[in-house]
A = this chain, B = another copy of it.
Amino acid sequence: MLSRVVRIFETFGPDATALRVSDIARRTGLHVATASRLVDELVSYGWLQRDADRRIRIGVRIWELASRASPTLSLREAAMPFMEDLHAVVGQHTQLGVLEGREVLFVERLSAPGAVVNLTRIAGRLPLHASSSGLVLLAHAPAEFQDEMLASPLTAFTASTVADPARLRSLLADIRRNGFAYCEGFFDNEATGIAVPLRGPGGEVVAALSVIVPIDGDAHPQIPALRAAARGISRAMGAENSSH
Protein backbone atom coordinates (compact mmCIF):
# COMPACT_ATOMS: atom_id res chain seq x y z
CA MET A 1 0.00 0.00 0.00
CA LEU A 2 2.86 2.35 0.87
CA SER A 3 4.33 1.77 -2.59
CA ARG A 4 1.08 3.15 -4.07
CA VAL A 5 1.35 6.27 -1.92
CA VAL A 6 4.96 6.72 -3.07
CA ARG A 7 3.81 6.36 -6.70
CA ILE A 8 1.15 9.03 -6.17
CA PHE A 9 3.72 11.51 -4.85
CA GLU A 10 6.14 10.64 -7.66
CA THR A 11 3.57 11.76 -10.26
CA PHE A 12 3.82 15.38 -9.09
CA GLY A 13 6.63 17.57 -10.33
CA PRO A 14 7.52 21.11 -11.42
CA ASP A 15 5.45 20.63 -14.59
CA ALA A 16 2.64 18.75 -12.83
CA THR A 17 1.80 20.70 -9.69
CA ALA A 18 -2.00 20.22 -9.91
CA LEU A 19 -3.53 16.95 -11.14
CA ARG A 20 -7.00 15.51 -11.41
CA VAL A 21 -7.62 12.15 -9.72
CA SER A 22 -8.07 10.63 -13.18
CA ASP A 23 -4.61 11.96 -14.18
CA ILE A 24 -3.11 10.48 -11.02
CA ALA A 25 -4.75 7.12 -11.75
CA ARG A 26 -3.46 7.10 -15.32
CA ARG A 27 0.08 8.16 -14.38
CA THR A 28 0.38 5.67 -11.50
CA GLY A 29 -1.42 2.79 -13.20
CA LEU A 30 -3.82 2.58 -10.25
CA HIS A 31 -7.56 2.02 -10.64
CA VAL A 32 -9.48 5.30 -10.38
CA ALA A 33 -11.34 4.00 -7.31
CA THR A 34 -8.07 3.07 -5.57
CA ALA A 35 -6.41 6.36 -6.49
CA SER A 36 -9.49 8.27 -5.35
CA ARG A 37 -9.60 6.50 -1.96
CA LEU A 38 -5.87 7.03 -1.30
CA VAL A 39 -6.06 10.67 -2.40
CA ASP A 40 -9.00 11.24 -0.03
CA GLU A 41 -7.04 9.72 2.83
CA LEU A 42 -3.91 11.77 2.02
CA VAL A 43 -6.04 14.94 1.80
CA SER A 44 -7.45 14.15 5.27
CA TYR A 45 -3.89 14.19 6.67
CA GLY A 46 -2.97 17.38 4.76
CA TRP A 47 -0.33 15.49 2.75
CA LEU A 48 -2.26 16.38 -0.42
CA GLN A 49 -4.70 19.24 -0.83
CA ARG A 50 -7.72 19.74 -3.09
CA ASP A 51 -8.20 22.97 -5.04
CA ALA A 52 -11.50 24.80 -5.43
CA ASP A 53 -11.64 23.22 -8.93
CA ARG A 54 -11.02 19.75 -7.35
CA ARG A 55 -7.51 19.41 -8.69
CA ILE A 56 -5.02 17.81 -6.30
CA ARG A 57 -1.77 19.42 -5.14
CA ILE A 58 1.05 18.52 -2.76
CA GLY A 59 -0.04 19.51 0.75
CA VAL A 60 1.76 22.14 2.78
CA ARG A 61 1.70 19.74 5.75
CA ILE A 62 4.01 17.18 4.13
CA TRP A 63 6.43 19.96 3.19
CA GLU A 64 6.38 21.04 6.84
CA LEU A 65 6.98 17.49 8.14
CA ALA A 66 9.74 16.88 5.59
CA SER A 67 11.41 20.24 6.25
CA ARG A 68 11.33 20.80 9.98
CA ALA A 69 13.54 17.84 10.84
CA SER A 70 15.32 17.53 7.51
CA PRO A 71 19.10 17.12 7.46
CA THR A 72 19.11 19.60 4.57
CA LEU A 73 17.45 22.30 6.71
CA SER A 74 20.41 22.56 9.09
CA LEU A 75 22.77 22.57 6.10
CA ARG A 76 20.68 25.29 4.48
CA GLU A 77 20.50 27.37 7.66
CA ALA A 78 24.28 27.17 8.13
CA ALA A 79 24.86 28.07 4.49
CA MET A 80 22.31 30.82 3.92
CA PRO A 81 24.05 33.85 5.50
CA PHE A 82 27.25 33.05 3.56
CA MET A 83 25.28 32.37 0.37
CA GLU A 84 23.58 35.76 0.66
CA ASP A 85 26.93 37.53 0.99
CA LEU A 86 28.36 35.59 -1.93
CA HIS A 87 25.27 36.28 -4.01
CA ALA A 88 25.55 40.00 -3.24
CA VAL A 89 29.25 40.08 -4.25
CA VAL A 90 29.08 37.83 -7.33
CA GLY A 91 25.64 39.03 -8.46
CA GLN A 92 24.85 35.71 -10.12
CA HIS A 93 23.13 32.44 -9.25
CA THR A 94 24.42 30.87 -6.04
CA GLN A 95 23.35 27.36 -5.15
CA LEU A 96 23.72 24.55 -2.67
CA GLY A 97 23.65 20.92 -3.83
CA VAL A 98 23.83 17.48 -2.21
CA LEU A 99 24.47 14.01 -3.61
CA GLU A 100 21.14 12.18 -3.89
CA GLY A 101 21.14 8.85 -5.69
CA ARG A 102 23.26 9.26 -8.81
CA GLU A 103 22.60 12.99 -9.26
CA VAL A 104 23.08 16.33 -7.54
CA LEU A 105 19.94 17.65 -5.84
CA PHE A 106 19.78 21.42 -5.32
CA VAL A 107 18.43 22.26 -1.86
CA GLU A 108 18.85 26.02 -2.11
CA ARG A 109 19.30 28.65 -4.80
CA LEU A 110 19.61 32.43 -4.80
CA SER A 111 19.01 34.04 -8.17
CA ALA A 112 19.25 37.50 -9.59
CA PRO A 113 16.87 38.74 -12.28
CA GLY A 114 18.94 39.20 -15.44
CA ALA A 115 21.65 36.77 -14.35
CA VAL A 116 22.83 34.15 -16.83
CA VAL A 117 20.46 31.32 -17.77
CA ASN A 118 20.39 28.67 -15.06
CA LEU A 119 18.76 25.33 -15.59
CA THR A 120 18.76 24.31 -11.97
CA ARG A 121 15.93 24.94 -9.54
CA ILE A 122 15.25 24.25 -5.89
CA ALA A 123 14.49 20.56 -5.47
CA GLY A 124 15.73 20.10 -9.04
CA ARG A 125 18.50 17.71 -10.11
CA LEU A 126 21.43 17.67 -12.53
CA PRO A 127 23.72 14.83 -13.65
CA LEU A 128 26.92 14.51 -11.63
CA HIS A 129 29.41 14.56 -14.51
CA ALA A 130 27.97 17.60 -16.29
CA SER A 131 27.62 20.14 -13.47
CA SER A 132 30.30 21.78 -11.32
CA SER A 133 28.44 20.84 -8.11
CA GLY A 134 28.00 17.27 -9.27
CA LEU A 135 31.68 16.95 -10.16
CA VAL A 136 32.75 18.19 -6.72
CA LEU A 137 30.41 15.67 -5.05
CA LEU A 138 31.59 12.87 -7.35
CA ALA A 139 35.25 13.77 -6.78
CA HIS A 140 34.78 13.22 -3.02
CA ALA A 141 32.48 10.18 -3.25
CA PRO A 142 33.67 6.66 -2.33
CA ALA A 143 35.87 5.01 -5.00
CA GLU A 144 33.30 2.25 -5.65
CA PHE A 145 30.64 4.84 -6.42
CA GLN A 146 33.04 6.67 -8.77
CA ASP A 147 33.86 3.41 -10.56
CA GLU A 148 30.16 2.68 -11.00
CA MET A 149 29.46 6.17 -12.39
CA LEU A 150 32.45 6.05 -14.74
CA ALA A 151 31.31 2.67 -16.04
CA SER A 152 27.80 3.92 -16.83
CA PRO A 153 26.82 5.83 -20.01
CA LEU A 154 27.76 9.53 -19.72
CA THR A 155 25.68 11.95 -21.77
CA ALA A 156 27.50 14.80 -23.57
CA PHE A 157 25.18 17.80 -23.17
CA THR A 158 27.54 20.16 -24.99
CA ALA A 159 30.84 19.84 -26.86
CA SER A 160 32.57 20.64 -23.54
CA THR A 161 30.95 17.95 -21.36
CA VAL A 162 33.59 15.48 -20.18
CA ALA A 163 31.94 12.18 -21.12
CA ASP A 164 35.11 10.09 -21.56
CA PRO A 165 35.74 7.96 -18.43
CA ALA A 166 39.55 8.34 -18.46
CA ARG A 167 39.38 12.13 -18.89
CA LEU A 168 36.66 12.33 -16.26
CA ARG A 169 38.77 10.35 -13.75
CA SER A 170 41.65 12.74 -14.33
CA LEU A 171 39.29 15.75 -13.96
CA LEU A 172 38.08 14.39 -10.59
CA ALA A 173 41.71 14.16 -9.39
CA ASP A 174 42.26 17.79 -10.50
CA ILE A 175 39.16 18.88 -8.58
CA ARG A 176 40.36 17.17 -5.38
CA ARG A 177 43.83 18.71 -5.78
CA ASN A 178 42.64 22.25 -6.68
CA GLY A 179 39.76 22.36 -4.23
CA PHE A 180 37.25 23.54 -6.84
CA ALA A 181 35.57 22.56 -10.13
CA TYR A 182 35.60 25.11 -12.96
CA CYS A 183 33.23 24.03 -15.73
CA GLU A 184 32.91 26.19 -18.83
CA GLY A 185 29.83 25.20 -20.81
CA PHE A 186 29.69 21.61 -19.49
CA PHE A 187 25.90 21.59 -19.29
CA ASP A 188 24.90 24.75 -21.15
CA ASN A 189 26.93 26.62 -23.77
CA GLU A 190 26.25 29.99 -22.16
CA ALA A 191 27.18 29.26 -18.56
CA THR A 192 30.26 28.54 -16.48
CA GLY A 193 29.73 26.72 -13.19
CA ILE A 194 32.23 26.91 -10.36
CA ALA A 195 31.80 24.71 -7.29
CA VAL A 196 33.64 24.00 -4.05
CA PRO A 197 33.09 21.31 -1.38
CA LEU A 198 31.39 21.90 1.99
CA ARG A 199 32.50 19.70 4.89
CA GLY A 200 30.60 18.33 7.88
CA PRO A 201 31.83 17.85 11.46
CA GLY A 202 33.92 14.79 10.57
CA GLY A 203 35.62 16.59 7.66
CA GLU A 204 33.58 14.58 5.12
CA VAL A 205 32.20 16.40 2.06
CA VAL A 206 28.45 16.83 2.61
CA ALA A 207 27.48 19.33 -0.08
CA ALA A 208 28.73 21.57 -2.88
CA LEU A 209 28.46 25.36 -3.06
CA SER A 210 28.43 26.81 -6.56
CA VAL A 211 27.98 29.95 -8.61
CA ILE A 212 26.83 30.08 -12.22
CA VAL A 213 28.26 32.94 -14.30
CA PRO A 214 28.14 33.92 -18.01
CA ILE A 215 30.67 32.00 -20.09
CA ASP A 216 32.13 35.15 -21.71
CA GLY A 217 34.98 36.30 -19.49
CA ASP A 218 37.28 34.75 -16.91
CA ALA A 219 35.42 33.81 -13.73
CA HIS A 220 38.53 32.64 -11.85
CA PRO A 221 38.50 35.84 -9.74
CA GLN A 222 35.25 34.53 -8.16
CA ILE A 223 36.99 31.47 -6.74
CA PRO A 224 38.52 33.04 -3.59
CA ALA A 225 35.10 34.42 -2.51
CA LEU A 226 33.54 31.01 -3.12
CA ARG A 227 36.23 29.19 -1.14
CA ALA A 228 36.04 31.69 1.73
CA ALA A 229 32.25 31.20 1.91
CA ALA A 230 32.72 27.41 1.87
CA ARG A 231 35.14 27.61 4.79
CA GLY A 232 32.67 29.74 6.75
CA ILE A 233 29.79 27.35 6.08
CA SER A 234 31.89 24.29 6.93
CA ARG A 235 32.97 25.92 10.18
CA ALA A 236 29.33 26.81 10.98
CA MET A 237 28.50 23.11 10.49
CA GLY A 238 31.23 22.15 12.94
CA ALA A 239 33.99 21.04 10.58
CA GLU A 240 37.27 21.15 12.54
CA ASN A 241 39.47 21.56 9.53
CA SER A 242 37.62 23.25 6.71
CA SER A 243 40.57 23.46 4.33
CA HIS A 244 40.25 21.21 1.29
Contacts and interface: CB of A to CB of B under 8 A. Distances in A.
Contacts of A61: 100
Contacts of A60: 70-72, 98, 100, 105, 107
A62 B62 contact: yes
Interface size bucket, A side?
Answer: 35 or more
Contacts of A68: 12-14, 121-124
B65 A12 contact: yes
A174 interface: no
A84 B122 CA distance: 16
Contact of A71 (B41, B58, B112): B58
Interface string A3-28: 10110011011101100000000000
A156 interface: no
A42 interface: yes
A89 interface: no
A2 interface: yes
Contacts of A105: 60, 64
A81 B115 CA distance: 12
27 contacts: A1-B1, A2-B38, A2-B45, A3-B45, A6-B47, A9-B62, A9-B65, A9-B66, A12-B65, A12-B68, A12-B69, A13-B68, A14-B69, A17-B70, A58-B65, A58-B66, A60-B107, A62-B66, A63-B67, A63-B72, A63-B123, A64-B105, A64-B123, A68-B121, A68-B124, A73-B123, A84-B110
